[in-house]
Amino acid sequence: MGEFVQLIVSGTATGSIYALAALGFTLLWQASGTINFAQGEFVMLPAFAMLFFVSFIGAPLWLAFLLTCVVAMLVLGYGFKRGIVDPLIRHGVIPLVIATLGLAIGLKSIVKAGYSAEAHPFPSPFPAGQFVLGGINVSYADIGTLLLAGLIVISLQAFLNKTVTGRAMQACAQNTDAARVLGIDVPRMVLYVFLINAVLAVVAALLVTPTYLAKFDMGESIGLKAFFAAIIGGFNQTRGALLGGVLIGILENLVGFYVSPAYKEGVALMLFMLVILFRPEGLLGKIEERKV
């Protein structure tokens, strides 16, 4: 029983990282109809940016994290929106999907050329070791990851639900035209979503890279799982992304331990297929009707 709970805890911690990246997927989709298939690379880039600040400037990890947040908001938030999304979104989703797929390949190639294809160590924001909680061994890293990811998600929910700006952003997501009639600055709200997505990617990078190690292709798996998590939970629900991410993290851990690690990577795909077949709107998603 102890091992089962331990696997659930560490699976939830891993899943919460997938959830952060998945949240970005759902937020971008809701606010601007953007599907970003470079989301995994949006996690990989901040990892290398933090490494740069730590290695070359000698900044402590927390400072590197803050600096990276600023850079990410500029490049992965503002730059991505203005440079790629704005010019392409008017042509529909497909050109944007293709563009982000190309962007993912380009980003990987740039990092590979600059940092080599080898993995690089990344400092953990949490101490090593573990403690006993109710007879179960729990690592500081798992608890720290859970707490930080949980804090980010709760703060984001509070921001979206309790603040005027957050409500305005939700209004834009629900009905852009109505929001504009109500005097909401829609482009500004959409930009905020892109900035939030960039910060979520930096937090995901901070939490996942000590385990994944900083490597040019580390985003492939994260991006794919985050996409699956968003679909499983419901692409039009931020809570759904959270559920999808955690579900994948836990099931991967349980299957890897009790069945075989060989099947672990297939868990997200299996779940994704089941959801698409039997509940295409996602576990917490709502059916959307669109006029054609």
Partner 1 sequence: MKQHPRLAAAIFAFAFTVPALAQQKPIPIVGLMELSGTGATAGTNFDNGVKLAVKEINAAGGILGRKIEYTSMDTQSNPGVAKALAQKAVDQSAYVVMGPVFSGSIIVSMAETKRAEIPNFTGGEAAGITQQGNPYVFRTSFTQSTAMPKVAKYIKDAVKANSVAIVWVNNDFGKGGRDMMAKALDAQGVKVVADIPTDPGQVDFSGAVLKAKQSGADALFVYTNEEESARALRELKKQGYDKPIIGETTLTGQKVIELAGDAANGAVAHVGLTVDAPQPTIKAFDQKFQGEYKYKSDHNGMKGYSGMYVVKAITEKIGKTDSKAFAVAMKGAKISTKDHPGVLLDVTFDQNGDLDRESFLVKVENGKQVVTSTLPPAAAK
DSSP characters over 37-52: TTHHHHHHHHHHHHHH
Q: Does 273 bind partner 1 (CB under 8 A)?
A: no
CA atoms within 13 A on the CB side of 152: 24
**Three-class DSSP labels, 242-268:** HHHHHHHHHHHHHHHHHCCHHHHHHHH
Which residue lies nearer to partner 1 by CB, 6 or 26? 6
Site string for partner 1, 126-145 (x = CB under 8 A): --xxx------x-x-x----
Q: Based on CB atoms, which residue is closest to partner 1, 31 or 246? A: 246
Residue 61 in contact with partner 1, rule: CB under 8 A? no
Stretch that binds partner 1, among 36-44, 77-85, 120-128, 168-176 (CB under 8 A): 120-128
Task: Give the Cα separation of 253 and 247 in Å (integer).
Answer: 10
Q: Closer CB to partner 1, residue 106 or residue 261?
A: 261
Give least dist CB 130 to partner 1, A.
5
Among 33, 52, 95, 112, binds partner 1 (CB under 8 A): 112
176 scored as a contact of partner 1 (CB under 8 A): no
**Of 157, 165, 170, 211, which lies in the binding site for partner 1, with binding defined by CB under 8 A?**
211
Q: Yes or no: say if 190 and 63 are a contact pair by the CB < 8 Å rule.
A: no
Looking up tokens 């998600």 gives 153
Site size with partner 1, rule: CB under 8 A: 35
SS3 33: coil
User: Residue 52 forms beta bridges with which residues?
Assistant: none
Nearest to 148 by CA among 218, 200, 197: 200
Site string for partner 1, 229-268 (x = CB under 8 A): -----------------------xx--xx--xxx-xx---
CB of 119 to partner 1, least distance (A): 5
- The structure tokens 């069945």 sit at 259
Question: What residues have CB less than 8 Å from 245, skipping those under 6 apart?
Answer: 15, 16, 17, 18, 19, 20, 21, 22, 225, 226, 229, 233
Please give the Cα distance from 190 to 85 (Å, whole number): 11
Kindly state the smallest distance separating residue 283's Cβ from partner 1, in Å.
Answer: 23
Q: Which residues would be at the binding site for partner 1 (CB under 8 A)?
A: 3, 6-7, 10, 14, 112, 116-121, 123, 128-130, 137, 139, 141, 210-213, 215, 217, 221, 252-253, 256-257, 260-262, 264-265
